[in-house]
Amino acid sequence: MTNLEIGIASFPALLVLIFLRVPIGLAMFIVGYAGLYLVTGSSGMALARLKSSAYSTFASYSLSIVPMFLLMGYFATLGGMSQAIFRAAAAFIGHRRGGIGMAAVASCAGFGAICGSSLATAATMGRVALPELRRFGYAGGISTAALAAGGTLGILIPPSVVLVIYAILAEQNIAKLFLAAIVPGILAAIGYMLAISVYVRLHPDRAGTAARVGWPERLRLLTGVWPVLAVFIAVVGGIYGGIFTPTEGAAVGALGTGLIAYFSGGLTGRTLMEAFASTGKSTAMIFFIVFGAAFYNGFLALTQVPQELSTWVVTQGLSPLMVLVVILLIYLALGCVMDSLSMILLTVPIFFPVMMSLDFGMTPEHVAIWFGILVLIVVEVGLITPPVGMNLFIINAMDRGTPMSQTYRAVLYFVASDIIRVALLVLFPAITLFLIP
């Protein structure tokens, strides 16, 4: 076999391992190791890389943003911020048709502004909003689907762990990517609310409404949201206002939410340990995937697959837009079975050079940012597409009475709104880029 053939053969090998339930980071490590062995004829190179690769992957200034944003999300929950957001949102729009569902989506967006992870947002807001949705007569399917979809706002609205990983892989500015994600993130929230309103019009029996809340009460509840606003402004404002780097912003956010949680009484020795343990588990999982992907990608580069692929695509004479659409479709397909982080780590090193070799009539930086946001959205869609959607699983597991099939059916409304949004962003890059100087 030539090196190129070994590289190409590594994809099916990887997929087989992944489908055999081998943890994704481990699968990439095993295939990368075996691949290096086949290409070089000995395990010398793989062993030599291991002397420093695990250490240097973990000792990363940019990646250290990940555990800090995770910890920030846990502290925010301990500080009661998730409840406060939902109560305020429900007071404002809960009396409308589909209003409680929309309030759930809006509070996911609000929580997403201080949480960097989709699954954490889905799980947190699920805990808060699911009982309320059921209390106001929402059917199981639409309740779970709305929260699973709302959870993806955790990543689409900055700060976003997945966007950090993309920025590192594509060597792009994290702050600019965060900025570019804001409008598409808000569009996503609006799209999900529209999906709910369409759903409740088609199925009026599956959603109830809450009583109208008076303005004094609304304003009182709104004041409960100030810690969230303060942390968001401190973190995001500090990053754009030129006070600190994104990593430093994550540290400020973690400390800020930690203090709020402490003074609200939510942070005790016991809950702090739980926050450490949960953050630690997620951090180890993410970093091990990053490690496996870095190892695999080093092997893949050696086989020249990424270079050959981008050369091949360019010589096919396909229109750049066509190539982009094909790549996004591949992501949607992969997303039916894989989680977003693994997909990004696996595919960006391959597709990014392809994208950068095509002429979209934009600066390379704009192409990189635009592509990053599109990829971010399609991999997040993967979290709510059947059969494997991590958000669907998490929320469905919280609502034992609702069969998965109901969740699957209801979530299609949200997937449809996602696809419309992706089409808009592909056709009008300015939606993503107009904030970027």
Partner 1 sequence: QEVTLRLHQFLPAQANVPVQVLDVWADNVERDSGGRIKVERYASMALGGTPPELMDQVIDGIADVIWTVNGYTPGRFPRSEVFELPFMVSDARAASSALWQMYTEHMADTDFAEVKMLAMWVHGPGMFHTNSPVSRPLDLQGMKIRGGSRGVNDLLALTGAEAIGMPISGVPEGLSRGVLDGATMPWEVTTALRVSELVENHTEFEGPALYTLTFSLAMNPDVYAALPDDLKTVIDQNSGHDFSVFAGGTQADADGPARQLALDRGNTIVTVSEADAQEWTGLVSPLYAAWVADMEGRGIDGQALIDQAQQLMADYTPQ
Partner 2 sequence: MVQQLHRLIYALAYGVAIIGGIVLSALILMICASIMGRTGATLLHSDLIGGAFPDTAARLLGLGIGAVKGDYELLESGMAFAVFAFLGLCQITSGHATVDVLTDRLPDRARRLLQMGIEIAFAAALVLIAVQLHDGLQTQMRRGSVTFLLQYPVWWSYAAAFVPAVFAAAVAVWMALVRTAEGLLGRPLIDPATGAHL
Residues near partner 1, by CB under 8 A: 44-45, 48-49, 51-53, 56, 61, 171, 173-175, 239, 242-245, 248, 294-295, 297-298, 301-302, 304
Per CB under 5 A, contacts with Na ion among 360-399 are 382, 385, 388-389
Q: Report the SS3 class of residue 82.
A: helix
One of 292, 335, 372, 429 touching Na ion (CB under 5 A): 335
Task: List the single partner that 257 binds among partner 1, Na ion, partner 2, none, CB under 5 to 8 Å by kind.
Answer: none
Contacts of 315 (CB under 8 A, 6+ apart): none
Question: By rule CB under 8 A, what string of x and - marks binding of each residue 280-309 to partner 2?
Answer: xxxxxx-xxx--------------------
Member of 67, 101, 191, 246 binding partner 2 (CB under 8 A): 67
| Per-residue contact flags (x/-) with Na ion for residues 96 to 115, judged by CB under 5 A | ----------------x---
Supply the minimum distance, in Å, between the C-beta of residue 53 and partner 2.
9
Of residues 94 and 112, the one with the C-beta less far from partner 2: 112
**271 lies in the binding site for partner 2 (CB under 8 A):** no
Q: Which residues between 122 and 181 bind partner 2 (CB under 8 A)?
A: 123
117 binds Na ion (CB under 5 A): no
Task: Name the residue among 205, 217, 182, 199 with its Cα closest to residue 104.
Answer: 199
Of partner 2, partner 1, Na ion, none, which one sits near residue 362, judging by CB under 5 to 8 A according to partner kind?
none
Asked if 162 and 341 count as a contact pair (C-beta separation under 8 A), the reply is yes
Contact 421, 187 (CB under 8 A): yes
How many angstroms separate the CA atoms of 266 and 293, rounded?
37
Q: In whole angstroms, what is the distance from residue 296 CA to residue 389 CA? A: 25
Peptide bond into 159 cis (omega under 30): yes
- One of 6, 10, 14, 29 touching partner 2 (CB under 8 A): 29
Rounded CA separation 104/82 (Å): 10
Residue with Cβ nearer Na ion (118 or 402): 118
Q: Does 37 bind partner 2 (CB under 8 A)?
A: no
Shortest distance (Å) from residue 152 CB to partner 2: 14
Residue pair 393/381 in contact by the 8 Å Cβ criterion: no
CA distance 344 to 346: 5
DSSP sequence for 289-304: HHHHHHHHHHHHHHTT
Of 9 and 50, CB closest to partner 2? 50
Tell me if 254 contacts partner 2 by CB under 8 A.
yes
User: Could you tell me what percentage of the chain is helix, strand and coil, using 3-state DSSP and rounding each to the nearest 5?
Assistant: 80, 0, 20
**413 CA to centre of own chain:** 19
What's 96's DSSP letter? S
Q: Where are the alpha helices (DSSP H) in 243-316?
A: 246-263, 269-302, 305-315
Q: Which of Na ion, partner 2, partner 1, none is residue 382 near (CB under 5 to 8 Å by kind)?
A: Na ion
d(C-alpha 268, C-alpha 67), whole Å? 20
Interface residues with partner 2 (CB under 8 A)?
Answer: 18-26, 29-30, 47, 50-52, 54-55, 58-61, 63-64, 67-68, 70-71, 73, 117, 119-120, 123, 243-244, 247-248, 251-252, 254-255, 272-273, 275-285, 287-289, 337-339, 341-342, 387-388, 394, 397
